Amino acid sequence: MDAGEGSGQRFAVPENAEESHENEEESLPVRRVAERPDAGELAGEPPGEPIAAHRKPGREAKGAKKAKEAKEADAKKDLIPIPASLDGFKRKLEEEVGYKTSFDIVLREMTFGDRRVAFFFFNGFAKDTILTEVLKRLTYLQAEDYRTASFHDFFRLYVPAIQVVEEQDWDDMMTNVLSGGTAMFVEGDDKVLLIDAKAFPARNPEEPTLERVVRGARDGFVETMLVNVTLVRRRLRDKQLRYEIMRVGERTQTDICIAYIDDIVDKEMLESMKDKIKQVKVDGLPLADKQLEEATVQRGWNPFPLVRYSERPDTVAVHLMEGNIAIFVDTTPSVMILPTTFFDLLQHAEENRQTPFIGTYLRWVRFFGIIASLFLLPLWFLFTLRPELKPPGLGFIGAQQAGHLPMVAQFILAEVGVDLMRMAAIHTPTPLATAMSLIAAILIGDIAVKTGLFVNEVVLYMAISAIGMFATPSYELGLANRIIRLVLIIAVALFEVPGFVVATTFFFVMLCMQRSFNRPYMWPLVPFDAKGMLGILLRVPVLQNRKRPNYLKAQQRDKMPN
């Protein structure tokens, strides 16, 4: 039966059987092959049956094909074409990006043979050495090479750059160039070549000021995301380490990288994090990671941090190996680590750079300082108001003399004064920092006590609380603890013992109810985990720390390889 006969039979069928005969007609050659005596044996199927690989798709396959075609059609409909002429290309640049208005926009026009070529880039982002090599290679070609050259010849043969891709969508091209790339336009084609020739302004990796260690690495993250992911990759030579790139912000188009170890991380948590980032609809993220945190965590007015920030590559590498997710945001030197717990925010890299005994000692000293920063001032104030509550051996506690201001006013002024000095220290140039410290210590502290504005004990305990706050590894947690301390002081001033008990209970319950990306914030205390709590209280030796935290739900709980 030839094609004509098959076609004639198709028009002879009834209308209600059109679809089934359509399948039959298209599969006729296959059936003729399968009817051979050995065809079924060769295909591994019973004789007389069509070969499975050549069967006509059913209605489900047809539906999937139509859906795919519809999706491709929508993508083409949304595609903004690139003008094929150089004059149209320049006009579009003038209208949309401000070509000839912004001084840093460069359009380098050249003619090779009879082909007009233009390189579009931003002056501050371009890697001039790479672009110069591309131009050299193009000038070596003869005129006849350009007459017969196609766009693919430029892509495969004539552009000597490592990372080159084709692009035919105008918006995608603009986003790439605004991110530092270079677009090579060849007149007559509705595509461009995107050359990754970037040279971002960046500083060298330096030790973070908030996470200094006595012994250990001195490199820290910088404002360039590519440098940051490389610093982590240097420490984690794991083929399962994944870096997924996303963009957030209609105007800023900020690059965001989600880092995780594929065979350790909880995939459900990973997908949830990706969905939250995709749902962020904002104009931009000029403040980088902090704005992204607020857009994804949506914690409202809760003062406690639900993610951990770090500027140390080794700290991020350790958390990735535990099963956490790290989020790099371009233009910021800090990395978000999530999920996190309250006790994660109390740990520091210095503890793991010392022996287990010394590391445990340092951890306990830090815990004592943080607890003192929270409860020392409220308890002293309570014993001052209610002397009968003092234990027999603590009779010396309490104000020996009254000041001119009420005690609660002295506490509030002292809190605000410490914050002012902290902010002044940040904004004061380094040569003047010593002079400012003398002013704060001698003129303000000493004279305020001598004039009776403050009581000696208020200044003393306020200084101890401030030291405990500065000893907190997480800067965000230290600020949150300061707010809690201030609320406890006001509660004691208003209601004394009931105020202290109720306020402390309220904040503890609030912490227990918090969740960081659907993980308990107070783990391993609530819910209680004995092994996890032991790992918090003690700096366990490396070879005895064999399990990953169970709250992360890692795919592999065992840290030690088989």
Convert the pLDDT of each residue in 295-344 to its tens digit.
888 767 888 999 999 999 999 999 999 999 999 999 999 999 999 999 99
Q: Which of 489, 492, 400 is nearest to 449 (CA)?
A: 400
- Written as six digits, the tokens of 480 are 């949150």
Query: What number of residues does the chain have?
Result: 562
- Written as six digits, the tokens of 550 are 């169970």
- Supply the pTM of this predicted model: 0.80
- Chain segment 200-257, per-residue pLDDT in tens: 777 888 989 888 888 888 999 999 999 999 999 999 999 999 999 999 999 999 999 9
- Chain segment 146-165, per-residue pLDDT in tens: 777 777 888 888 888 888 99
Chain mean pLDDT for the chain: 82
Is the pLDDT confidence value at 188 over 50?
yes
Q: Which of 214, 210, 304 is nearest to 507 (CA)?
A: 304
- Indicate the residue type of 127: K
Cβ neighbours around 383 below 10 Å, total: 19
- Written as six digits, the tokens of 126 are 């371009």
- Report pLDDT for 461: 87
pLDDT confidence band for 54 (50 / 70 / 90): very low
Mean pLDDT of 472-491: 93
Q: Which of 143, 145, 121 is nearest to 131 (CA)?
A: 121
- Chain segment 31-52, per-residue pLDDT in tens: 333 334 443 333 344 444 443 3
Cα 6 to Cα 31, 38, 48, 252, distances in angstroms:
13, 25, 20, 60
- Report pLDDT for 443: 64
pLDDT confidence band for 65 (50 / 70 / 90): low
pLDDT confidence band for 70 (50 / 70 / 90): low
Q: Which residues contact 476 (CB under 8 A, 6 or more apart)?
A: 305, 309, 345
Cα Rg of the chain (Å, integer): 34
- Report pLDDT for 127: 87
